[in-house]
Amino acid sequence: PLKVCDKITVRMILNTARNMEYVQLKDMRAAGTEPLDVISGYQWKNNLGYYQSTKDASTNFYIEYMPKGKYVFEYDLVANASGVFSTGISTLQNYYAPQMNSHTAGSKMEIKE
């Protein structure tokens, strides 16, 4: 079980069957967590360039061009409050055609004192 002050690594694995342009990956955080890296900036990982932006309730990844393939997005959180929290959903959406989107299911997370 998670405890207050534990470090959590969020890992999202994205498989794309075709090339995509101008997409946003948005991951909603649970209320009892805080991001460790709060500085927004451009990243280059797994042969993919993207802009990572940390907001109050989510972490966003803005991708101009994503070739088909498998990609792993990771960032770290710290558990800062005890309780049962909803983890929220992750959404992948096109900037210019918002009807083209996909999302994960939400789940529960318990943090003990």
Long-range Cβ pairs for the range 16-20 (8 Å, 24+): 16/66, 16/67, 16/68, 16/69, 16/70, 16/71, 17/68, 18/68, 19/65, 19/66, 19/67, 19/68, 20/63, 20/65, 20/66, 20/68, 20/94
d(CA 14, CA 72): 6
Q: Quote the mean pLDDT of the chain.
A: 94
pLDDT the model gives residue 46 = 84
Tens digit of pLDDT for each residue in 3-42? Answer: 999 999 999 999 999 999 999 999 999 999 999 989 999 9
Using pLDDT thresholds of 50, 70 and 90, give the confidence band for residue 83.
very high
